[in-house]
């Protein structure tokens, strides 16, 4: 991670958040206020409208089994391409589906007319083109249907601790993640800043601890090890949990059982690094790596992903789309503590 690229990426992601909020406002304005549409708009056939309808539902992770063709009372006509009944899971608002479809069809000569048939339970949507009814959809909430997607959380390492302004901008990113710190004075100085930003951290124990007051060495006496552990826990007591690099010499050393015992008796949650997923830095595009990772997340999975600050900035723009489909993004502690 270069010092010059990180501020640029932070600026890009924060700008992206602003753009997303603006788009949401624009979409809502279009639907609620019926703002003016482009003057020259193309018409769409029933087949094209039907395709857009299915795309809108797919964007929210709907299963095809929730969508069935149905004869809807008082809905008919030679122009009608199809009529559907759609089961809607409780965690998706019918209003959001209407907004999604309205946004997809905004540039076309299409009229959407929605009415609530049963308050808070069922709505009817009519989609017309050239004043002819093309599609009719009955949406209703069904507790039996559930979007079954996995859960992901993020641990972000390689933070720009050397630059307070850049670090502060990073910590303001409106997503759920913990930072990863290692025991050293530079990390100690940033604890207050991280806390004030409403973020938490996990502490990594590995072979890279070099400062004497925190160092854990196989050559140290038991008393020296205990003293270092006392210093580490006393300084970084607010850590959500500790991570032990179980591929490190520290983990393999004869002193590790003592280190483990000293931590556990202080109530420290100790997590082996092999239990965490890693978005390894390489020449492969971070976006591609993250998308490949998400393909491995099954419906019952709860995965904690370790990612560099620079890569996190790159992939964070993808998170809203996955959340929209139905994936859950939570804090790492909510997964680790439950385990």
- The DSSP call for residue 246 is T
Euclidean distance between CA atoms 179 and 197, whole angstroms: 12
Nearest to residue 331, comparing CAs of 235, 201, 163? 201
Euclidean distance between CA atoms 194 and 162, whole angstroms: 14
CATH number, domain with residue 55: 3.30.460
Within-domain flag for 227 = yes
* b/e burial code for range 194-225 (CB count within 10 A of at least 16 → b): beeeebbbbbbbbeebeeeebbbbeebeeeeb
82-95 confidence digits (pLDDT tens)? 999 999 999 999 99
* Domain extent for 298: 151-336
* Domain match, 157 and 136 both: no
- The beta-strand segments (E) located in 161-247 are 178-181, 201-205, 242-244
- Residue 280 structure tokens: 């390894």
Within-domain flag for 20 = no
Whole-number percent of the chain with pLDDT over 90: 78
Q: How far apart are the first and last CA of the chain?
A: 32
pLDDT of residue 33: 37
DSSP string, 155-171: EEES--TT-HHHHHHHH
* Domain match, 92 and 137 both: yes
The band of 155, judged by pLDDT with boundaries at 50, 70 and 90, is very high
Cα 242 from chain centre: 23
* Domain match, 44 and 124 both: yes
* Domain match, 183 and 281 both: yes
* Domain match, 221 and 315 both: yes
All residues at 6 or more sequence positions from 221 whose CB lies less than 8 Å from its CB, including other chains: none
Domain count for the chain, please give it: 2
Q: Of the residues 119, 141, 163, which one is the last residue of a structural domain?
A: 141
- The DSSP call for residue 1 is -
* Domain match, 109 and 161 both: no
Q: In whole numbers, what is the pLDDT of the chain averaged over residues?
A: 89
* Domain match, 238 and 130 both: no
* Domain match, 167 and 304 both: yes
* Domain match, 307 and 192 both: yes
* Domain match, 136 and 156 both: no
Q: Of the residues 95, 123, 141, which one is the last residue of a structural domain?
A: 141
* Domain match, 130 and 156 both: no
Within-domain flag for 286 = yes
Euclidean distance between CA atoms 262 and 5, whole angstroms: 40
CATH number, domain with residue 174: 3.20.20.370
Tell me which of 39-43, 247-251, 285-289 is least confident. Answer: 39-43
Nearest to residue 174, comparing CAs of 150, 138, 199, 152? 199
* Domain match, 51 and 99 both: yes
User: Is the pLDDT at 299 greater than 80, yes or no?
Assistant: yes
164-214 confidence digits (pLDDT tens)? 888 888 999 989 999 999 999 999 999 999 999 999 999 999 999 999 999
């Amino acid at each position: 991670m270069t010092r010059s690229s990180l501020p640029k990426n932070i600026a890009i992601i924060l700008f992206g958040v602003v753009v997303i909020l603006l788009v949401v406002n624009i979409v809502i304005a279009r639907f609620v206020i019926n703002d003016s549409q482009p003057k020259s708009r193309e018409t769409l056939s029933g087949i094209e409208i039907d395709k857009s309808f299915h795309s809108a539902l797919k964007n929210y992770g709907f299963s095809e089994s929730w969508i069935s063709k149905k004869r809807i009372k008082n809905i008919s006509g030679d122009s009608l391409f199809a009529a559907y009944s759609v089961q809607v899971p409780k965690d998706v608002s019918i209003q959001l589906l209407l907004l999604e479809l309205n946004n997809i069809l905004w540039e076309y000569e299409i009229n959407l007319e929605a009415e609530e048939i049963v308050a808070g339970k069922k709505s009817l949507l009519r989609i017309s083109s050239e004043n002819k009814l093309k599609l009719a959809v009955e949406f209703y909430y069904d507790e039996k249907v559930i979007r079954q997607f996995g859960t992901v959380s993020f641990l972000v390492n390689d933070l720009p601790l050397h630059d307070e302004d850049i670090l502060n901008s990073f910590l303001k990113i409106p997503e759920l993640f913990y930072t990863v710190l290692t025991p050293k004075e530079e990390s100690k100085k940033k604890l207050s800043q991280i806390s004030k930003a409403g973020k938490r951290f996990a502490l990594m124990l590995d072979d890279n601890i070099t400062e004497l007051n925190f160092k854990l060495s196989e050559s140290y006496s038991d008393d020296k090890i205990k003293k270092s552990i006392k210093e580490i826990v006393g300084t970084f007591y607010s850590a959500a949990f500790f991570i032990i690099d179980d591929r490190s010499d520290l983990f393999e050393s004869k002193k590790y059982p003592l280190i483990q015992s000293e931590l556990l008796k202080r109530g420290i949650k100790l997590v082996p690094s092999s239990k965490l997923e890693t978005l390894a830095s390489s020449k492969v595009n971070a976006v591609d790596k993250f998308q490949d990772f998400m393909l491995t997340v099954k419906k019952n999975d709860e995965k904690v992903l370790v990612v560099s600050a620079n890569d996190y900035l790159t992939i964070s723009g993808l998170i809203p789309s996955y959340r929209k489909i139905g994936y859950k993004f939570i804090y790492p502690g909510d997964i680790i503590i439950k385990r």
